[in-house]
Structure 1
């Protein structure tokens, strides 16, 4: 099951050769204005290690290659139905220094833009922040904190009223596995948990930084315990130059064995977001969906292409918008 959650869509690019050493990239905006939009494309064949990109105005544009034949850059502004042409040329060395950086420290990954924290990925099991938390609640494989460009924290971890909530995380609640019913959301039941199992790659760059990691959903009812699902995360944080942070999260989940897992209908489960403690209460948290629904209760269990959640933290406004990738199962 692939799940991709992005806050801007990349544009498809036709690649045409302009000269022996130079190539032209044509970017068509399509039906929408584009601003701070990530673009990825396949590089020309030839084994060239480094490239430079020149924008329509003649100014250099940061470009980042992945070592696998693809590259990315950011389109600053492009009006709907307009086209921009970029020149791609070989370079002797990298043309831009890293802007988005990833550092591993104390069992977590910290991603920054220009040395300002964007988010942390808690890879290994975190320490318990309070004495009232039982060891059964410890877990890793989630994102917290998430910060706005002004430094306002918009997520919570181990909140007092829901000790099993963790920033951005991906548990299932109502499941059936080999006749048992492990609950991977409500960890206090002791029937299911999610474990971090490995960090596969991490990178920094002038356009984006990110990582790939893996988790496993463990049925604790089974004796001995048994893995029901494996999960791979891939996250990228982009330097868009805009007044917001932009990141993309992809989760791919697969059955760990021949045994299938079922997800009976339930009111919640899957991708979760826990807002800051200051957002508690109807008067302190605000919602809006792509359908124009601002009432959380009325919007419950409805489908929407995107959803925004926001509130005040210490008197400062902040929020997050999640855009559902059109390639998702049962989109939207």
Structure 2
């Protein structure tokens, strides 16, 4: 390890770790500590809010996600994009044989309120393999399936495994909720999923609905760019945040250097508090049979404004993990 990285890793070493409780609540796994929720993993499709079309029911995502003080940082079923769902993984522009399943815009259509008559493609929760909690942290391993309904009902395109750990630790003097997410996607048939060049699709993050006004959310990338200048650039990490109950809070997504096309392209939505880690921005590619596609991210949720130096130290420590 280089001296600078060793120093950063030591600087970012945790000095406090909380006991994590995990409890199944209906179709969700709830992770908490000290009576405060850290996050929920929505397994089967959850109920939609009153007035939202049932076609937008969705699962296989993280929401709600909270800061250590209990401030909400994610949004779900927003009025402008009912298919946005906390923190999720999905592809938008695709080719599967002679089909073009869109797994991102789940339930979107041309009808009233942008809702369709049916779901043509989706990411569906398949199975919870295991979950755990305790003094060493919590987590779960689960399975998702990417389905194309446009030609044949429930045509499997990809199988996906999520390996997630959940913790609350003090990192260099700052208390943070930590979610490590590893997604492994494999072809479900002998056909590849082709992914043409497109400006979004991959890891999606929707911020608190209180940040919907254009001037209510801030974003910062590892290269020092804000929401406007950072769109369609690349980064090692990206932060999204704003005011909740009169105080600053937010989350930073750390991108592992082993990820495809690292530093990865970023989509920072100019109209709503949503961002995406979008490898397809860099050109056509595909997920091939027999070749797992693995993505690793660490999500740090904390109170207060972002400190780029502190975030960089956390990324340096994360970058050395396998």
Distance between the aligned counterparts of 1:99 and 1:155, measured in 2? 23
1:193 to 117, 122, 128: 122
Structure 1: distance between partners of 2:98 and 2:5: 50
Runs of 4+ in 1 over 2 A off after TM superposition: 33-37, 313-316
Partner Cα separation in structure 2 for residue 33 and residue 102 of structure 1: 29
Judge conservation of contact 1:207–1:239 (CA < 8 Å) in 2: no
Normalising by structure 2, we get a TM-score of: 0.73
For 1:233-244, what aligned pairs fall within 5 Å after superposition?
A: 233-241=162-170, 242-244=174-176
CA distance in 1, matches of 2:22, 2:244: 26
Match of residue 242 from structure 2: 311
- Consecutive unaligned residues of structure 1, counting only runs of 5 or more, are 1-10, 12-27, 38-74, 78-95
Number of matched pairs: 249
Larger radius of gyration: 1
Q: Which residue number corresponds to residue 265 of structure 1?
A: 197
TM-score (norm 1): 0.71
1:163 aligns with 2:82: yes
The separation in 2 between residues aligned to 1:258 and 1:33, in whole angstroms, is 42
1:174-221: CA deviations, max 9, x gaps?
001111111111112432111000000111121210000111110011
* Alpha-carbon separation, structure 2, partners of 1:224 and 1:172: 19
Deviations 1:245-300 (A, max 9, x none): 11211111111110111111111111000001111122111011110111x23211
1:228 corresponds in structure 2 to 157
Matches of 2:222 and 2:58 in 1, distance apart? Answer: 33
Q: Answer yes or no: is the 8 Å Cα contact 1:171–1:272 preserved in 2.
A: yes
Deviation at 1:135, TM superposition (A): 2.1
Alignment of 1:78-157 (within 5 A): 99-131=19-51, 133-157=52-76
Structure 2, unmatched stretches of 5+, are 110-118, 264-322
Contact in 2 for aligned 1:119/1:143 (Cα 8 Å): yes
Contact 1:36 1:76 in 2 (8 A): no
Work out whether 1:292 is the aligned partner of 2:211.
no
Q: Does 1:301 align with 2:232?
A: yes
Which residue number in structure 2 is paired with residue 32 of structure 1?
8
Distance 2:215 2:168 in 1: 33
Q: Which residue of 2 aligns with 1:76?
A: 15
Contact 2:168 2:175 in 1 (8 A): no
